[in-house]
Amino acid sequence: MENVTPDLSEVANYDAVSDDDVLADTTVRGLSCEMLDEETDAEDFNEITDVKDFNDTSEDKLDNENFNDVSDDELASFLRELADVSSEDDLVVKDQFFAKKQKIKRGIIAGSGLLAVIVITWFYYGQTHVKLPDFIGKSVSTAQTWADEHKVKLEVKRVYDFDKEANIVIKESDKNRTISKKKTVNLTASLGANPKEKIELPDFSKMPVAEAREFIKKNKLENTSVQLDYSETVAKDTYLKQTFANQSVTPETFKREDNLTLYYSKGKEPVVQNIDVPDFSSQTKEQINTWSKEKGVKVAFETAGSETIEADKVISQSVAKGQKVSKADIMIIKLSLGKPMTVPDFSRFTFDESSGAAKNLPVISKQVYNDTVPYGGFISQSIPAGTQYFAKDTIPDIMAVYSLGRVYIKDLKGQTEGDLQGTFYNDYTSKGANIAYRVQYVNSPETKGTVVGQSSLNEFVPLSCTIFIQISNGHEK
């Protein structure tokens, strides 16, 4: 039940009433209502102190001065009327401390709400906005890394700029400003000097190497290089030659993108024996050539057969392992051809032995007539004795020739004229004898075409001669 107070406007000295009096009065009324609900008796009610005033609306029922004389029924009736009247009162006296407390509480709640709104707004703004750094003069990769980290879209426009290196930012929108992450950041980056620009080349033959390098740097010729080579005739830092990678390019059509190499002299190569020689015994010819190119040492190769060292391996080297050579020196490396196959001396063998005298070599043995070398004697061989062949070589047939002695003409009687061709070729011509024959037809009771006589019979003849052969014509004399 709310605390109520009577209409104090009728109290004569209302302005003089203190806050304590009002508080006490309010307390009494509150207690009175509670006591009414509990049917409190008059004696308990009389114990309430600090009562200042009651509503005198019903003067005939209750008077302050006669408060002690009021009966219990009258008191209860009065309190009921007091409760009914309280709802119509225009002024309610409140607990001032409680009101202040409520006011502070409402202020704290309002302040907390406002602070929460500010924090949420600030957090949202921080998540959706970012301050854009100044990327001018920095690389595009730096800007891209920042954009990836902050989830900002980056758009890069690239233009040629002679004064700026490639991939350097030269222009930026909204730099040092806070922007929404949804906004695209526009950057302009340099592509460096225009590669299509034509460059007027000077006469490098009249420029020392330092001036040539300065020209290259000044004009940003990234595809032009200077190479220094030793020269026995041209002074140090002096021009040697120039070459274009594209042979169609000339000094008049040269562009920045074209490849040009300028060669300048390093002077004479110093002769210093400062290159260590390794052991080549286990290396191949290809490996030795690689070492020669890397070190700049000249190497000459010789070959020889070896009974113990396999083909293409090193037999010897002119400079031993651990010694030092200079680039002016020439090393001799002897490589193995493998185990040799040597042509034997067939004069030491008979005709029958000759075919097996040379293992792994193709040998053809033959016998021919000879006026001076007796039968069975050695006449010649097609490949000189001592000649060596190796597995990688193409080896020819080796012909070993032995003597059949002088030509001996046997009796041809009984043969037909048609047999004579084969007989003379096989028995004489194929064996080195130049024996020809001539046919004479004679009357004879022998079968026509049969040999009936010859000019040489069962005798030795020279290597070159003609034999007359008599052939029967089948007629009697």
pLDDT band with cut points at 50, 70 and 90 for residue 182? confident
Higher pLDDT, 112 or 255: 255
For residue 473, give both structure tokens. 């014509």
pLDDT of residue 97: 77
For residue 190, give both structure tokens. 């340099």
C-alpha 469/C-alpha 440 separation (Å) is 6
Query: Among residues of the chain, what percentage have pLDDT more than 90?
Result: 55
Question: Residue 165 in contact with residue 220, Cβ under 8 Å?
Answer: no
For 138, residues 6+ apart whose C-beta sits below 8 A from its C-beta are 168, 169
For 40, residues 6+ apart whose C-beta sits below 8 A from its C-beta are 34
pLDDT tens for each residue of 351-365: 999 988 988 899 999
C-alpha 218/C-alpha 220 separation (Å) is 6
C-alpha 93/C-alpha 47 separation (Å) is 23
pLDDT of residue 227: 95
Burial class (CB within 10 angstroms; exposed 0-12, middle 13-18, buried 19+) of 64: exposed
- pLDDT over threshold 90, residue 441: yes
- In CATH, which of 3.30.10.20, 3.60.15.10, 3.50.50.60, 3.40.50.720 is domain 132-190? 3.30.10.20
- In CATH, which of 3.40.50.720, 3.30.10.20, 3.40.50.2300, 3.40.50.300 is domain 341-405? 3.30.10.20
Strands 464-472 and 434-442, bridge-based pairing: parallel
- pLDDT over threshold 60, residue 191: yes
For 260, residues 6+ apart whose C-beta sits below 8 A from its C-beta are 201, 221, 223, 224, 225, 242, 243, 244, 245, 249, 254
pLDDT tens for each residue of 319-354: 999 999 988 889 999 999 999 999 999 999 999 999
For residue 318, give both structure tokens. 């002119």
Residue 401 CB neighbours (<10 A): 20
C-alpha 321/C-alpha 281 separation (Å) is 10
C-alpha 47/C-alpha 246 separation (Å) is 124
434-442 β-sheet, strand order: 434-442, 464-472, 451-454
pLDDT band with cut points at 50, 70 and 90 for residue 76? low
Averaging pLDDT over each range in 15-24, 162-171, 182-191, 243-252, which range is the top one?
243-252
Residue 342 CB neighbours (<10 A): 15
Mean pLDDT within 225-230? 94
Ranking 110-114, 247-251, 324-328, 412-416 by mean pLDDT, the lowest is 110-114
Ranking 63-77, 94-108, 261-275, 379-393 by mean pLDDT, the lowest is 63-77
Q: Tell me the CATH class for 275-336.
A: alpha beta
Q: Quick one: DSSP state of residue 361? A: S
Cα 397 to Cα 21, 42, 294, 381, 390: the distances in Å are 152, 161, 44, 10, 14
pLDDT of residue 245: 93
Cα 76 to Cα 29, 40, 59, 82: the distances in Å are 13, 8, 15, 10
Higher pLDDT, 253 or 35: 253
What φ, ψ does residue 474 adopt, rounded to 5°? 85, 10
Say if 275-336 and 407-472 have the same CATH topology: yes
DSSP string, 82-96: HHHHHTT-S-----H
- pLDDT over threshold 90, residue 391: no
Indicate whether this model's pTM tops 0.75.
Answer: no
- Which of 155, 156, 153, 157 lies closest to 183, judged by CA? 153
pLDDT of residue 11: 38
- Which of 445, 450, 456 lies closest to 413, judged by CA? 450
Fold annotation for 204-265: Trypsin Inhibitor V; Chain A (3.30.10)
Ranking 120-134, 391-405, 440-454 by mean pLDDT, the lowest is 120-134
What φ, ψ does residue 228 adopt, rounded to 5°? -100, 130
Ranking 32-46, 262-276, 287-301 by mean pLDDT, the lowest is 32-46
pLDDT of residue 170: 87
Higher pLDDT, 429 or 34: 429
pLDDT of residue 27: 42
Q: Is the dihedral of CA 311, 316, 320, 325 positive or negative?
A: negative
Would you kindly state where each structural domain of the chain is located, as residue ranges? 8-94, 98-129, 132-190, 204-265, 275-336, 341-405, 407-472
pLDDT band with cut points at 50, 70 and 90 for residue 19? very low
pLDDT of residue 48: 40
Q: What is the CATH number of domain 407-472?
A: 3.30.10.20
Helix axes 72-86, 19-37, angle to 10 degrees: 110
C-alpha 423/C-alpha 428 separation (Å) is 8
C-alpha 253/C-alpha 251 separation (Å) is 6
Residue 205 CB neighbours (<10 A): 11
pLDDT tens for each residue of 239-284: 999 999 999 999 999 999 999 999 999 998 777 888 999 999 999 9
The secondary structure element, H or E, covering residue 227 is: strand 224-229
pLDDT of residue 39: 43
